[in-house]
Structure 1
Amino acid sequence: MLWALGNVGYATQKVVNVGIYDNPPKIFIDKSGQPSGIFVDLLNQIATIDNWKINYHFSTWEECLHQLENGSIDLLPDVAITSERKNHFEFNTIPVLESWSQIYVKNNKEIHQLGDLSGKRVALLNGSVQQSNFRQTMKGYGFPYTEVTAGSFTEALSLVSIEVADAAITNVFFGDLNASEFDLRKTSLIFNPVTLYFAIHPSGDTSLINTIDLYLTVWKNTPRSFYYSTLQKYTLSEPLPNSNPNKLFLVVIVLISMVAFIILLKSKQGQIQKLSRQIKDQQRLLHNQEDKFRGYFESSPIGMFVADTRGRYIDVNPAACSITGYQEQELKNLTIADLIPESGRKGAAHHFNQLVTEGRAEGTMPFRSKSGEIRHWSVNAVKIEEDKLIGFVEDITEKTKLEEERFQIPEKLERQVKEKTQELNLRISELEHFREVTIERELRMEELRSEIKRLKNKQDIH
């Protein structure tokens, strides 16, 4: 049944890159150089049935976490869930194993309680849950100790064996299997019970962990399944579920339901893949549009101010900085009201309220630049989100001055005409006076000439 479950509708192999590290019996490289262990055997079985091609990448535990985080690998087994890891990874939901941390020491060391480790050297796997949990525990009790970091659990045990460290902390599976090789014994100190899972990157292929959960659900509810035989292979005492006929019947029903679901899922796989491609295309298009808008935003000669509905600036472009004289971060620390002088507050408040309530507003108003100069700008603003506004601004100070001067020209001309008219009237009056004086003088001259002529004639007679 599982073979049919795994092979329905597959045409090509799914390639899966899996990170592994040295942590027997859960994960390790065997004597023939092949990946082995509980997690590896379970994963290989799923891969065989579901037609996966697995590429294993062996490294240290810390490097495996780094590779999963940067997307170099698709899947990492044997991962305990912590609050920090929840922020970086996604996990399958069905636990693979349950484990706890155990402390191992040399046979001649008397370590019976945590206080006995005060002042001691403790070897811990770097980046492990044992490391973070032990730090927190010892800090809580106020016990000082010296941490000796190791690149693997094997190295941690060897550090105790050569007396570089006084104690080593590993998971119980690894410690119980390997402690005797280093002439170490298990203490009665245990802590940090954890469940272990498979992990993927948050943007990774969720079908991997969904498929793993499906097989784990079936295996864990089926007596003598591959899961239990794998645990027995690595000498782990995992109790087999009771072979209750009613429970077995329910398991069969569940299996049949799962097969039907998988068949339906496979039939829809093409549609899902098409939809996934469409979503990715839309995301790529949106990303390109965002890049294009950012390019327009940065290079626009018009000042662009993005603000929230409280009037606080969220983003500004270089033109906005040039208009106001402020640096970008300086403007982001200001509000719209900070740039408006007292004389323009009333008009600016009306403009802002109209923008928030109606979604659009435009107008002109004064603003104060960083130098303190009162200038004028035109603002055309729109509401782009419920709590986000954008204003397109131009400095119209020089234009305003020209407009004012244009309106003053008729008045100036009228004043000049009046002045010239008055001056002309004065000249005319002066000329009229001069004419009158000249005429009067001419008349008198004529009278004098006549008198001279009369006198001359009278003289000639005598």
Structure 2
Amino acid sequence: MNRSRVLASAYLSTLLTLLLSWPGLSQAAEAKRLVRVGGAPMPPLVIVEPSGAVSGIIPQLMEEMAKEHNWQIEWVIDSWANQLERLDEGAIDVMSAIGYSEKRAFSFDFSSQSVLSVWGQVYTQPSSKMSNFLQVDGQTIGVLNNGISGLRFIELCHRFGVNCLIKHYDSYDDIFKALERADIKAGVVNSHYGFVVESEFNVLRSDIMFNPFPVLFATRKGSNGDILAQIDQSLVNWKATEGSVYYTITENWTQQDQAVFPEWLKFSIFGLSLVVLLTSLIIVVLRREVKRQTRQLELSEAQLKQIIDIVPHAIFASDASGKIVLANLESTRVFNRTFQELSTLTRTEIMQRQPYLDGLLGDDEKIMGRQQREFDQEVKLELPDGQVAIYQLSKVPFIRKRSNTPAVVSVAVDITEQKFTAEQMEHMAKHDDLTNLPNRAFLMDRLEQSLLLSKRHKRFGAVIFVDLDLFKNINDTLGHSIGDALLQATSKRLKTHCRESDTVSRFGGDEFVILLPEIGNTYELAKMNAKSISEKIREEVVKEITIGGHEISTSISQGLVFFPFDAENTEQIIKRADLAMYHAKLLGRNKIVTFHPSMEQRINRKERLKSELKQALKNNQLSVVYQPQYSMKTNRFEGAEALLRWSHPVEDSITPMEFIPLAEETDTIIALGEYVIREACKQLDRWRTMIQSQFYITVNLSARQIAYEQLIPFIDGVLSDTAFDYSQLELEVTESLLMVDMERAVKVLKRLKDKGIRISLDDFGTGYSSLSYLKKLPLDKLKIDKSFVNDIPGDHDSETIARTIISMASELGLEVVAEGVETKEQVDFFCRQGCFLFQGYYFSEPCDSAELNRRFFSVIKKTQPRG
């Protein structure tokens, strides 16, 4: 029998299982264009003649579509796997006869309409009959490389714990040839192909069929969507019209390929009938054979039912009388009824007793009456227990052979978990894990919409950029778990005074952004409303809260921007709100600041200075000055602090308070720090030759320098070029930089201390829980911060803090320096408390080495001890 004659029987045998495609959207025809269509030989869908011509159901349908949409079809024929690569690379525009999978959906877009549907069909060697899916266990099975039938077969194997060795082939022909060579025990092909060509190979069709799937078209992700839309448009129109080219083409293949009943078989049957009439013995034999065949048929039906029952999807059928004529095991769970109950109830009775099942059974009559040709859609069921179940439901009509009664087969795939997972993933993609607030991406999308609406309605919106003040201190001192709990509590507090239409999002770290859409029809009204909300939020956040046994008080700095008044695009809105928040921190934190254009000028200056600072060293714009430290015990200058200065070529004065933080934001601080250490050590070596007393130099270290791996080798290298003792170098650190990485800081400072270098702690008492870690640090000296010294004498709190620091330092054997001393009264107060070492303008302002020599060299020589 030739291939064309087999097509009819193949199509008729699978017609009952065809699942109709999803509805799609029409799209207007475009201009004439070349459409490259990829296909693999797959009769009767795609047939490649020896001459190279392409025919079959899909090529004929594509030719009709080409007439409608002014296409020029160019067929590209190759193996299935190669075609998928071509599609992914854009070498073809459309892939034909392709099945959908979630993995493919990441790379390809699919048509919503199908040509028809196929099943997976298992074939074996003629000597190896298989009637049960479990019989493939331990066997070598051939599948099409990256074909849907093979992928579904492998999924079934994993689901039911069936272990087989899978071999991949480039075409279904290769699978059948491998079966003939006995390279594999069984092979998986799609049902259409198998029914058409099975007679050309020495293979046996098994009773194992599984997982129907629609035959679709696909394009590369995000490409040629108009072609898919036109394909869907044609299929929708054709399927809705009796006698359309769609039915003509499919029926034509069916009619022209109907099997011809062989003449020899007619004579054989006639001869057999004569024999039956002539001999009763043969009748007896035939009866026995009939009984044997009946038993075999019953066994096959039982095996088929077993296969249907192990399918994890509900498969059921009802006929025109409403009777449930088929139900597998999963169906009993879905309907919550036994096999016996289902066999005695009609479809109508089930829906009356369980109305929520109407979504599964309600359309059967339309399908049987052909009022609805296709059914393949998502169905949502509200279960009695309040739960929700979602099914992908497919239905197909058929005629029951024995009774000639119309019926409908339904397949319901439970996709509830997949839908829930997809929704969860979508939620996670748009929300912050810790606070469950909308994340940055979600906020930017909302802001884009709000901006468009504000311009359209001529109303003002606002954005509040919120940052927790000193949040890093809480993380460092109390731990990240306490910090996370504080962020969660803050996120709830921020929402307390916001409207339902507002969006409170976590922007990152300890930053939050609040979107207030359409908050006023004038700028003044919007500003008043936004500031009112900001004030209420601030009052809410500053309330003390207990977390993990700790009483925590915090504050927030807020930056306000109004759109479209202050900015006209989303990036500019966020940038300027962030800038306003930054200025709120500069003003002392816990402030609300509205954006002003001058802020951008300051930030632009900051970025310019960063760039210029990198060139300052090369251009000799940096220098070191020294501020002496005077001892009232010895009445002489015992050392000096090295301080960096920048002589900017344009601006008169840029203070270290301004440019040192800029350097710390970049790697420039490393080069600046090395420059100061090198210059200070050279100057100390020069002073060593001028005076005989032990004179020391103090140099400040930054947090980046302590984290720098080459700090200690660099200091060793500098000191190796001088003759003075390591103890004449004093390195000064601050509390704040130590808290960046306390463990590393202690380790580095101990190594420096072991070399003899003295360690001084600056700005002591201004932050963190100083007393709790002071014993860990290898210190020689404490500096009382200028903020305390300024208010002495006269301020009781400052005097108390100063006494406490001096007393504590004495107990720990540490020397104390009063920094920023400017009056004799301050000197007298500290001397009474036991502090005799001072640094400040009362004794000397910072000056260069030449000035220091001129003003103090003679003093130093006079005050040095006599031998």
Normalised by the shorter chain, which TM-score bucket? 0.5 to 0.7
**What is the letter of the counterpart of residue 58 of structure 1?**
I
Answer whether contact 1:18 1:57 (CA < 8 A) is retained: yes
Please give the secondary structure, in 1, of the residue aligned with 2:192: helix
Instruction: Give matches, 1:281-296, under 5 Å.
Output: none
Q: Residue 672 of structure 2 aligns with which residue? A: 397
Matching residue within 231, 237, 258 for 1:212: 231
| Structure 2 match to 1:408 | 846
Contact 2:41-2:47 within 8 A present in 1 as well: yes
- Could you tell me how far apart the structure 1 residues matched to 2:370 and 2:179 are? 51
1:310 and 2:509 aligned: yes
More helix by share: 1
Instruction: Determine what percentage of the aligned residue pairs are the same residue.
Output: 19
Q: Deviations over 1:353-398 (max 9, x none)?
A: 9895725567899xxxxxxxxx9975569xxxxxxxxx77743736
- 2:452 matched to 1:230? no
User: Which residue does 1:40 correspond to in 2?
Assistant: 59
CA distance 1:311–1:419, shift in 2 (3 Å): same
1:175-324 to structure 2, matched below 5 A, reads 175-235=194-254, 309-310=508-509
1:142 pairs with one of 161, 164, 176: 161
Query: Conserved in 2, the CA contact under 8 Å of 1:112 and 1:189?
Result: yes
- The residue that corresponds to 2:191 in the other structure is 172
In the other structure, the counterpart of 1:55 is 74
AA aligned opposite 1:160: L
Amino acid at match of 1:76: M
Partner SS, residue 128 of structure 2: coil
My pick for the range that moved more, 83-92 or 352-361, is 352-361
Instruction: Specify the alignment match of 1:323 in structure 2.
Output: none
Deviations 1:258-295 (A, max 9, x none): xxxxxxxxxxxxxxxxxxxxxxxxxxxxxxxxxxxxxx
Are 1:18 and 2:45 counterparts?
Answer: no
Asked if structure 1 preserves the Cα contact closer than 8 Å seen for 2:150 and 2:189, the reply is no
Measure the CA separation in 2 of the matches of 1:408 and 1:162. Answer: 96
Deviation at 1:184, TM superposition (A): 2.7
CA deviation profile, 1:11-39 (whole Å, cap 9, x unmatched): x5311111111111111212432112212
TM superposition shift of 1:421: 9.5
Partner in structure 2 of residue 110 of structure 1 = 129
- The offset of 1:46, in angstroms, is 0.8
Structure 2 gaps of 5+ residues are 1-25, 258-365, 374-506, 512-553, 560-576, 584-602, 611-643, 645-655, 681-697, 700-843, 863-867
**1:414–1:178 Cα change, 3 Å:** closer
Tell me the distance in 2 between the aligned counterparts of 1:98 and 1:155.
23
Partner of 2:115: 96
**How far apart are the structure 2 equivalents of 1:218 and 1:232?**
17
Q: Distance in 2 between matches of 1:423 and 1:170?
A: 103
Residue from 557, 580, 588 that aligns with 1:358: 580
Q: Could you list the per-position Cα deviations for residues 54-106 of structure 1 after superposition, in whole angstroms to 9, with x for gaps in the alignment?
A: 22111100010111111111110111111101111001111221111011224
TM-score, structure 2 normalization: 0.31
> Residue 331 of structure 1 corresponds to which residue in structure 2?
none
Query: Match for residue 425 of structure 2?
Result: none
How well do the aligned residues superpose, as a CA RMSD in angstroms? 4.4
CA distance 1:423–1:233, change in 2 (3 Å) = closer
Structure 1 equivalent of residue 149 of structure 2: 130
Unmatched segments (≥5 aa) in structure 1: 1-5, 249-307, 313-348, 366-374, 382-390, 425-462
Q: Find the counterpart in structure 2 of residue 27 from structure 1.
A: 46
Gap change, CA 1:149 and 1:421, over 3 Å in 2? closer
Which residue matches 2:12?
A: none
- Residue 94 (structure 2) pairs with residue 75 (structure 1): yes
Q: Could you say which structure has the larger radius of gyration?
A: 1
Contact 1:378 1:393 in 2 (8 A): no
Shift of 1:198: 0.5
Distance in 1 between the 2:861 and 2:165 partners? Answer: 105
Aligned-residue offset at 1:224: 1.2
The amino acid that maps onto 1:397 is L
Secondary structure (helix, strand or coil) at the match of 2:847 reads: helix
Inter-CA distance 234–419: structure 2 relative to 1 (3 Å threshold): same
Opposite residue 358 of structure 1, the aligned amino acid is A
| Residue aligned with 1:22, SS | coil
Partner of 1:86: 105
Q: Please say if 1:163 is aligned against 2:177.
A: no
Q: Contact (CA 8 Å) 1:379, 1:394: kept in 2 or not?
A: no
How far apart in 2 are the matches of 1:150 and 1:422? Answer: 94
| Letter of the 2:51 counterpart | S
* Cα separation, 1, equivalents of 2:205 and 2:94: 32
Q: Is the 8 A contact 1:97 1:195 kept in 2?
A: yes
3-state SS of paired residue (1:165): coil
Per the alignment, in what secondary structure is the counterpart of residue 152 of structure 2? helix
- The offset of 1:108, in angstroms, is 3.6
| 1:194–1:379 distance in 2 versus 1, CA, 3 Å | farther
Distance in 2 separating the partners of 1:193 and 1:26? 16
Q: CA deviation at 1:119?
A: 2.5
1:92/1:421 Cα in 2 relative to 1: closer, same or farther (>3 Å)?
closer
Cα distance, 1:63–1:245 mapped onto 2, change above 3 Å? closer
Amino acid aligned to 2:186: A
* Structure 1 Cα separation of the partners of residues 160 and 857 of structure 2: 99
Work out which structure has the larger RCO, using CA pairs closer than 8 Å and 6 or more positions apart in sequence.
1
